[in-house]
A and B are shown apart, each in its own frame.
Chain A
Amino acid sequence: MDNQKYPIPDLSYLRELTEGDEESMKEIISIFLEEAPKLMIMMKESAEANDHEKLKFATHKLITQLTYVGVNSIVPEVKLINSGSVNMKDLDERIDRIIIVIENSITYLKGLI
């Protein structure tokens, strides 16, 4: 996987939220690292099971999480899935792309704490 292809998280919003407090930033990143994988699994599984309600729920939660830690590049795509306007045949491909970006962001963020 080519990490250079994906933008690293932009932590400026998190810095603003925490007013630059390093400990608080680390705490928030830790929660993201704990929660995001669960949401990724939920998103993937609900898409495979055609469970639209669950998919909506998982993407709803992901939007906020991704915004807090600055994984902004894929937020529009997650919003699109959340709004239910993605063609089913493109859904898997889009979700895979989102997961790759989140996984790369997780690797990057782990290095910060």
Chain B
Amino acid sequence: MEKILIIDDDKLVRKVFKMTLMKEGYDVLEAEDGSSGLQLIRSERPDLTITDYQMPGMNGIEVLEEIRKRKMSMPVIILTAFGDVVLTIKAIQLGAYDFLEKPVSPELLKSTVRNALESVERSKKLVGVIKAGVSSDSILENNILVGKTPRMKEIFKSIGMISMNKVNVLIQGETGTGKEMIARMIHYSGITRSEPLVVVNCSALTETLLESELFGHVKGAFTDSIRDKKGKFELAGEGTIFLDEISEISLNTQVKLLRVIQELEFEKVGGETPIPMRARIITATNKNLEKHIEEGRFREDLYYRLKVFTIDMPPLRERKEDINDLVIHFLYKLNKRYNRNITKIGDGVIEMLQQHNWPGNVRELENTILQAMIVSKNDVLEKENIVLINRFQGDIYKQEEYSFLTTLAELEKNYIKRVLESVNWNKLEASRILDISRPTLNAKIEKYKLIQ
């Protein structure tokens, strides 16, 4: 009979779990805190441990760390009252079998325990890949991903797994779903976190420029190359190179990239000395690469080299339950960045946002919140300040009143004025918010005769 240890200071949880598991024929041990749990682990050698995260004294992660320090490979399931991205990733990195949110249904408990016990042998073999160097929370917090939906939780778990080794990762998803954020999370949450992260947008450069950017060039390689230049692969060192919009690279560059991956070395443009490539490659695309392969626009061999591990980012319309948390996250982040103090969410705002289709995904949501914050006159994110653009029908609709309707030029003039006032006429900041260049902003200020 397999022995299961439950560590939880909550008597009720211990009772419910014990009752459920005993009915399944398991021998169940109980401990009400981490240290007595560890004593039982030493004396009773259970086959599996289930521990709460939040307990007086040692928390569940510390219990897990102690177990792993003792080179014990038993599966550990961690419980918490809420899904927490940082904790989930940390727990998975440390080798937790799973991270479950309370209350856990009997069916989920039984199936998780059954699967965990079945994987004990496999788990023993995996011990070697668990390494020290779990990410610092502060860096993770700055690159936080928000999501409690099952698909996002699975993505967080995947990040926990792949961040501890340097496999190449392909991130697929629509524009604005947060692919770069995932790349940053992978980089900063694991073994590469103290190494450089280099981001390259492959669609922004011509073929020649891209090759020079990626591999660097030697003096004299081009007419205006007056000195040697390091490429992004070299700058990435032992860290990560993130190639965004990988579908946009030419077939010629694809051949060169494939060679880098195969040979783990490259030469600068115009150079002959091989330079070793030690970085992890993360690529992202919003295109269907398999279709590109069929059409002869993307090399199949390169595709398989890049997608050793694949992450599919769901569009926001498929995870609308996350909108509430995303809005709170953006309010927190944007308040800090733009020195605002919008701390409340008006009635019906979340429901209204959940009705929208979000073709621009999370990025569109963030921009919508920022826009509403800028025009807000109090500390509440109000429905009437939220402008949702329905791209499919091409109309802009506001939730309540239409009385303000005016010409596009008038709207633009007033909006630019509002943004400028909000940032105390800091034109750099205003052009960033408006997503236009400084010269364009200056031209519009002149056109509309805006005065500070």
Contact = CB atoms under 8 A, between A and B. Distances in A.
Interface in B221-276: none
Q: Give chain B's interface residue range (CB within 8 Å of chain A).
A: 20 to 34
Given A64-B10, A85-B328, A28 B16 contact: yes
B82 A83 contact: yes
Contact of A24 (B13, B19, B81): B19
Interface residues of A, number: 26
Given A35-B10, A60-B54, A18 B19 contact: yes
B12 A31 contact: yes
Pick the 10 closest A-B CB pairs, nearest first.
A67-B103, A60-B81, A64-B102, A31-B12, A63-B81, A60-B54, A31-B11, A64-B103, A65-B12, A61-B10
Interface string A84-101: 010100000000000000
Interface in B56-112: 56, 81-82, 102-103, 105-106
B107 to A, nearest CB: 9
A105 to B, nearest CB: 14
A67 B13 CA distance: 11
28 contacts: A13-B103, A17-B16, A17-B19, A17-B20, A28-B12, A28-B16, A31-B11, A31-B12, A31-B15, A35-B10, A56-B54, A57-B54, A57-B56, A60-B81, A61-B9, A63-B81, A64-B12, A64-B13, A64-B81, A64-B103, A67-B103, A68-B16, A68-B103, A79-B82, A82-B81, A83-B82, A87-B343, A87-B344
A32 B82 contact: no
Interface of A: 13, 16-19, 24, 27-28, 31-32, 34-35, 56-57, 60-61, 63-65, 67-68, 79, 82-83, 85, 87
Contacts of A83: 82
Contacts of B344: 87
Nearest to B11: A31
A35 B53 CA distance: 19
Contacts of A61: 9-10, 54, 81
B15 A27 contact: yes
B51 to A, nearest CB: 14
Contacts of A31: 11-12, 15
